[in-house]
């Protein structure tokens, strides 16, 4: 019976599962349309190999086809890249190399067609998608803001393995290729035209028509790039190229500290292609690709990519639909308020009203947005009119005018409990019953902010990180009485602002600051033990953090750190006690960058970051140039790992994945290590616990391993199954 129904289904719903279709036009052009059925975007998969090979054979054999236009069946994107999931099936570097070889061969067949082949690009044309387009003889792209071309493989610890490292330099030159492939940056249509990556940019409405005309004209090769004298000197001879490659290598090592292998391999591929036979370049590309696929670094970066993709799809509370947000208020136009208003207007594209007690606060917030967008206008990434449109979404007031329809009010006033409770009362009296009150507090429990609220179910924490326009994380903190609806709506709102939200429990420090504090304190202890400021920052950057702890303290504000410290100590225990001597810095007016007085010098024209030696005497220390040992770096990092394990055990974070993403996106925990929980797995809980025990005996109770870690070590478990 079941069989019959299935057969009937098969008959009644004939499914066209083909990805590539050949549609012949009357003018002799054939359209090769790529459309991965069931997916919202096209990605290249290994299993398409046979189908594309058969289609190319059909094209070769059909002598009536005079030209080919390659286009996407998706409305708003070309090809977003190769399907990263398929790499997980590779069990050896040889297998991954073979995958790259297969891609190279297919693109070769496309390039070797005797008829003109033109790619018609609209929307995302990235990674394998751009490699496919580059294998065509010419490229036309739409002038739409959605169009973006790039090779972002490096961000996943990989390199373009479908001939990209060889074809891109031929089109845009070595310097531009290095810039694109080492950063993964994407080019807009006009930039792609200027770089020589596309032949012509046209409105979307005439994209296909233009591509057909180009194919029919037979003149599909893009115009040769105009080379400046310097370009000729640098790229046109072996010596010049050698300078270029060694500079690029130096720059990469300066940035990655040797922690990421992909950029160096990309340089090697381009160098081989430029210096040796083309076949050798492709061979090296495939071999390097194979090795990178099997590397630990790429595995971690791919896992982060999958985790964030999953998180984008998740709702804050399963089954609860978010309410619509159409109007937003921000209370306080300071450093954080300005950033929050900016991402609301430009990313979420929502009107936002800033309320401050002073006109200065409002103008600060407006200027904050203007400065960021004006930079884009100056670099010609944005039209002036577009900037004006976006800024028109931000308005300011010192009263509560225009608040009656606000759906969510984000509070970013001074860190003061009574003030924040007053803000709740203000919003309850000036806004709707349903208006959500979201606090950006760094340290105050949300439950306390909601204590006097008439509608505590509408109160929630929404903790951003500075600078708001850059930092991708937002912590969403529900207190005991926050409703599921409020959580779900706030999560959706943060996502609209371009944030990756993690929902965390309402306890001092939430997650990110709670794991950051013991790490920072330990760095402070090391300073007091005699390590130099430069050495501390250098060692942590070498470990993989974006900035060192001393510089971070300067950026955040030493006073801010010292305010949060005692709160964490009171709520969570003595292990959070900040180094006592640090209070002397505040007494000395050393508040960090904003006061132009901190660990580093700010009243200097020197480009190099120089330590303000006076800080040693402020702390009652001798000036030091003492290096930091590996064990000392571990002391700081392992304090963070121990606290992260505690947070998971206490349910502060929902799972290890959120803990890893929170640390990477909120603190800049080295992405190549995959976050604290992946790193614990890598070190092994047994080793971690034994080190912590040893330091507990040597340096004190703060190092005591938490119960959860001890249990994991005893039972031979790990956070992720490998
Ligand atoms: N600075 C950071 O890195 C950071 C990071 C995360 C969270 N936070 C939190 O964000 C909040 C704001 O921090 P900030 O660094 O932007 O402070 P800030 O001092 O730069 O700005 C605070 C603004 O609030 C305004 N304000 C004060 N009282 C007000 C009132 N009654 N109504 C309206 N506006 C009022 C002030 O005029 C000022 O413009 C704090 O709770 C802080 O803990 C800060």
| 3-state SS class at 5 | helix
608 Cβ neighbours under 8 A, 6+ residues apart: none
Kindly report the protein residue whose alpha carbon is nearest to atom 31 of ligand 1.
Answer: 357
Atom of ligand 1 nearest to the CA of 464: 6
Lookup: tokens for 56: 């190319």
Closest C-alpha residue for ligand 1 atom 12? 412
Residue 13 pLDDT exceeds 60: no
pLDDT tens, residue by residue, 139-153 = 999 999 999 999 999
pLDDT in tens, 626-648: 899 999 999 999 999 999 999 99
Q: Return d(Cα 415, Cα 561) in angstroms, integer.
A: 12
Concatenating the DSSP letter of every residue in 496-527 gives HTT-EEEEEESSTTTTHHHHHHHHHHHHHHHH
Pocket test residue of 353, 414, 461 for ligand 1, highest count of atoms within 8 A of CB = 414
CATH of domain 19-293: 3.90.226.10
pLDDT of amino acid 722: 66
Instruction: Tell me which of 330, 331, 335 to substitute to probe ligand 1's pocket, judged by most ligand atoms within 8 Å of the beta carbon.
Output: 335
| pLDDT average, residue stretch 343-357 | 97
Question: 11 pLDDT band (50/70/90 cuts)?
Answer: very low
SS (H, E, C) 265-290: HHHHHHHHHHHCCHHHHHHHHHHHHH
* The token pair that represents 525 in the structure block: 């202890």
Q: Which of 330, 332, 400, 559 to mutate to test the pocket of ligand 1 (most atoms within 8 A of CB)?
A: 332
SS3 of 30-41 = EEEEECCCCCCC
Q: How many residues are recorded in the chain?
A: 722
- Given a cut of 60, is residue 420 above it in pLDDT? yes
Give pLDDT tens digits for 481-518.
999 999 999 999 999 999 999 999 999 999 999 999 99
Atom 7 of ligand 1, residue of closest alpha carbon: 442
Q: How many whole angstroms separate alpha carbon 508 and alpha carbon 511? A: 8
- The whole model's pTM is what? 0.91
User: Are 109 and 56 spatial neighbours (Cβ–Cβ below 8 Å)?
Assistant: yes
| Averaged pLDDT, 166-186 | 96
- The pLDDT tens digits of the residues spanning 51-88 come to 999 999 999 999 999 999 999 999 999 999 999 999 99
Q: List, in sequence order, the alpha helices (H) in 112-188.
A: 128-135, 164-172, 174-183
Q: Mind giving me the DSSP string for 428-489?
A: HHHS-TT-EEEE--SSS-HHHHTTT-S-GGGEEEEEE-SSTTT--EEEEEE-TT--HHHHHH
Give the C-alpha separation, 423 to 438, whole Å: 10
> Which residues touch 475 (CB under 8 Å, ≥6 apart)?
461, 462, 463, 501, 502, 504, 510, 511, 512, 662, 666
pLDDT of 12 reads 47
- Higher local confidence (pLDDT), 380 or 217: 217
Given the DSSP bridges, would you call strands 20-24 and 67-72 parallel, antiparallel or unpaired?
unpaired
Give me ligand 1 centre to Cα 218, in Å.
Answer: 62
Question: Residue 111: pLDDT above 90?
Answer: yes
Residue predicted with more confidence, 588 or 95: 95
Ligand 1: distance of its center to the CA of 416 in Å?
A: 10
- Mean pLDDT, residues 6-33: 76
Q: Residue 431 contacts by C-beta under 8 Å, 6 or more apart in sequence?
A: 329, 403, 404, 406, 409
CATH architecture of residue range(s) 513-652+684-715: Orthogonal Bundle (1.10)
What average pLDDT score do residues 192-207 get?
Answer: 96
Any catalytic annotation for residue 475?
Answer: yes
- Span from the CA of 9 to the centroid of ligand 1 (angstroms): 61
Q: What is the 338 CA–ligand 1 centroid distance (Å)? A: 10
Determine the pLDDT at residue 85: 92
Mean pLDDT value of segment 275-302? 96
| Helix-helix angle 685-699:630-649, to 10 degrees | 110
CB 398 within 8 A of CB 356: yes
Number of C-beta neighbours around residue 113 at 10 A: 17
Q: How far is CA 132 from CA 108, 127, 163, 209, in A?
A: 10, 9, 9, 20
Dist CA 365 CA 363 (whole Å): 5
Q: How far is CA 677 from CA 206, 647, 655, in A?
A: 51, 11, 10
Question: pLDDT at residue 14 above 50?
Answer: no
Q: Which helix (H) or strand (E) holds 628?
A: none
Dihedral class, residue 394 (left if φ above 0, else alpha if ψ from -120 to 50, else beta): beta
State the pLDDT confidence band at 624, using cuts at 50, 70 and 90.
confident
Whether 233 contacts 240, CB under 8 Å: yes
Cα radius of gyration rounded to whole Å, the chain: 28
Average pLDDT across the chain, whole number = 93
Catalytic pick from 153, 285, 287, 475? Answer: 475
Q: What is the pLDDT of residues 690-716, one digit of tens each?
A: 999 999 999 999 999 999 999 999 999
Q: Whose CA is nearest to atom 8 of ligand 1?
A: 442
pLDDT of residue 357: 96
Q: Ligand 1: which atom is nearest the Cα of residue 416?
A: 41
Consecutive H or E run containing 76: none
Q: Is the pLDDT of residue 2 over 90?
A: no
Residue 652 CA to residue 504 CA, distance in Å, equals 5
Contacts of 232 (CB under 8 A, 6+ apart): none
pLDDT for 15: 57
Q: Is the pLDDT of residue 462 over 80?
A: yes
Å from CA of 551 to ligand 1 middle:
21
Q: Does residue 236 surpass a pLDDT of 80?
A: yes
Distances (CA, A) of 307 to 153, 302, 664, 680: 17, 9, 12, 18
Average pLDDT on 383-402 reads: 93
Residue 502 · residue 658 · CB < 8 Å: yes
Q: Is the pLDDT of residue 454 over 90?
A: yes
In the chain, which residues fall in CATH 3.40.50.720? 328-506
pLDDT at residue 557, rounded to an integer: 86
| pLDDT bucket at 3, cuts 50 / 70 / 90 | very low
pLDDT of 256 > 80? The answer is yes
> Can you tell me which atom of ligand 1 is nearest the CA of 419?
31
- The Cα–Cα gap between 366 and 147 comes to 29
User: Ligand 1 centroid vs 421 CA: distance in angstroms?
Assistant: 14
Q: For residue 222, what pLDDT is reported?
A: 82
How far apart are the CA of 546 and the centre of ligand 1, in A?
A: 25
Q: Which residues line ligand 1 (CB under 6 A)?
A: 331-337, 355-358, 361, 412-415, 419, 440-442, 464, 466, 556
Annotate 610-623 with b (16+ C-beta within 10 A) or e (fewer).
ebbeebbebbeeee
DSSP for 206-251, written as a single string: GHHHHHHHHHHHS--SPPPPPPPHHHHHHHSSHHHHHHHHHHHHHH
Closest C-alpha residue for ligand 1 atom 2? 466
Q: Name the residue at shortest CA distance from atom 18 of ligand 1.
A: 334
Cα(106)–Cα(51) distance, integer angstroms: 11
CATH 3.90.226.10 domain span(s) along the chain: 19-293
Average pLDDT over residues 323-349: 96
Atom of ligand 1 nearest to the CA of 556: 3
> 589: alpha, beta or left, given left = phi > 0 and alpha = psi -120 to 50?
left
Q: Whose CA is nearest to atom 30 of ligand 1?
A: 357
Pocket test for ligand 1, best of 331, 334, 367, 427 (most atoms within 8 A of CB): 334
> Which is more confidently placed, 561 or 679?
679
CA distance 487 to 474: 13
Counting from 1 in the atom list of ligand 1, the atom nearest the Cα of 361 is 39
Closest CA relative to residue 98, chosen from 48, 161, 35 = 161
CATH 3.60.21.10 fits 328-506, yes or no: no
Q: How far apart are the CA of 699 and the centre of ligand 1, in A?
A: 37
Q: Whose CA is nearest to atom 15 of ligand 1?
A: 335
Contacts of residue 30, defined as CB under 8 A and 6 or more positions apart, other chains included, come to: 22, 23, 24, 59, 62, 65, 67, 68, 69
At residue 9, does pLDDT exceed 50?
A: no
Task: Give the pLDDT confidence score for residue 5 in this predicted structure.
Answer: 38
According to DSSP, residue 138 is labeled E
Q: What is the pLDDT of residue 558?
A: 87
Distance 382 CA to ligand 1 centre (A): 30
């Amino acid at each position: 019976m079941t069989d019959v129904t299935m057969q009937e289904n098969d008959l009644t719903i004939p499914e066209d599962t083909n990805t590539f279709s050949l549609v012949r036009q009357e003018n002799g052009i054939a359209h090769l349309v790529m459309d991965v059925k069931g997916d919202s975007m096209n990605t290249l998969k290994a299993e398409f190999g046979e189908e594309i090979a058969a289609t190319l054979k059909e094209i070769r054999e059909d002598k009536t086809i005079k030209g080919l236009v390659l286009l996407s069946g998706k409305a708003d994107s070309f090809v977003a890249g190769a399907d990263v999931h398929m790499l997980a099936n590779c069990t050896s570097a040889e297998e991954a190399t073979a995958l790259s070889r297969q891609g190279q061969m297919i693109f070769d067949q496309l390039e070797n067609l005797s008829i003109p082949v033109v790619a018609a690009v609209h929307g995302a044309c990235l990674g394998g998608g751009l490699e496919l387009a580059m294998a065509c003889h010419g490229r036309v792209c739409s002038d739409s803001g959605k169009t973006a071309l790039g090779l972002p493989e490096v961000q996943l610890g990989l390199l373009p393995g479908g001939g990209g490292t060889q074809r891109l330099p031929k089109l845009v030159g070595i310097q531009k290729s290095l810039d694109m492939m080492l950063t993964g940056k994407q080019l807009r249509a006009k930039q792609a035209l200027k770089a020589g990556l596309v032949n012509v940019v046209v409105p979307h409405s005439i994209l296909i028509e233009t591509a057909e005309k180009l194919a029919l004209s037979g003149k599909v090769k893009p115009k040769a790039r105009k080379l400046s004298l310097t370009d000729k000197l640098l790229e046109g001879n072996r010596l010049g190229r050698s300078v270029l490659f060694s500079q690029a290598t130096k720059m990469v090592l300066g940035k990655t500290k040797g922690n990421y292998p992909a950029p160096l391999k990309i340089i090697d591929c381009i160098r081989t292609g430029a210096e040796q036979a083309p076949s050798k370049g492709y061979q090296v590309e495939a071999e390097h690709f194979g090795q990178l696929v099997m590397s630990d670094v790429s595995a971690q970066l791919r896992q982060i990519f999958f985790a964030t993709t999953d998180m984008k799809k998740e709702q804050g509370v399963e089954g609860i639909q978010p309410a619509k947000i159409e109007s937003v208020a921000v209370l306080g136009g300071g450093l954080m308020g300005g950033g929050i208003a900016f991402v609301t207007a430009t990313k979420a594209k929502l009107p936002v009203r800033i309320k401050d007690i002073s006109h200065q606060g409002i103008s600060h917030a407006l200027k904050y947005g203007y400065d960021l967008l004006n930079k884009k206008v100056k670099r010609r990434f944005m039209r002036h009119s577009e900037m004006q449109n976006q800024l028109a979404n931000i308005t300011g007031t010192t009263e509560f005018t225009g608040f009656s329809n606000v759906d969510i009010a984000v509070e970013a006033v001074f860190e003061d409990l009574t003030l924040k409770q007053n803000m709740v009362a203000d919003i309850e009296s000036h806004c709707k019953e349903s208006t959500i009150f979201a606090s950006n507090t760094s340290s105050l429990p949300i439950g306390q902010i909601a204590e006097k609220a008439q509608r505590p179910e509408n109160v929630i924490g929404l903790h951003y990180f500075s600078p708001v326009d850059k930092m991708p994380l937002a912590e969403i903190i529900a207190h005991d009485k926050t409703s599921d609806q409020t959580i779900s709506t706030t999560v959706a709102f943060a996502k609209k602002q371009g944030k990756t939200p993690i929902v965390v429990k309402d306890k001092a420090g939430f997650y990110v600051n709670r794991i950051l504090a013991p790490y920072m304190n330990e760095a402070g202890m090391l300073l007091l033990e005699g390590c130099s400021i430069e050495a501390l920052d250098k060692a942590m950057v070498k470990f993989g953090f974006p900035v060192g702890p001393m510089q971070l303290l300067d950026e955040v504000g030493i006073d801010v750190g010292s305010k949060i410290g005692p709160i964490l100590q009171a709520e969570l225990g003595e292990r959070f006690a900040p180094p006592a001597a640090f209070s002397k810095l505040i007494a000395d007016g050393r508040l960090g960058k904003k006061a132009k007085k901190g660990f580093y010098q700010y009243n200097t024209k020197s480009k190099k970051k120089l330590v303000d030696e006076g800080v040693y005497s402020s702390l009652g220390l001798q000036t030091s140039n003492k290096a930091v040992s590996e064990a000392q770096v571990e002391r700081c990092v392992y304090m963070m790992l121990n606290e992260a394990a505690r947070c998971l055990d206490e349910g502060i974070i929902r799972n290890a994945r959120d803990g890893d993403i929170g640390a990477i996106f909120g603190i800049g925990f080295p992405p190549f290590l995959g976050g604290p929980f992946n790193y614990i797995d890598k070190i092994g809980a047994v080793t971690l616990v034994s080190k912590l025990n040893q330091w507990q005996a040597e340096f004190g109770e703060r190092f005591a391993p938490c119960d959860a870690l001890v249990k994991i070590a005893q039972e031979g478990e790990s956070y992720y199954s490998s």
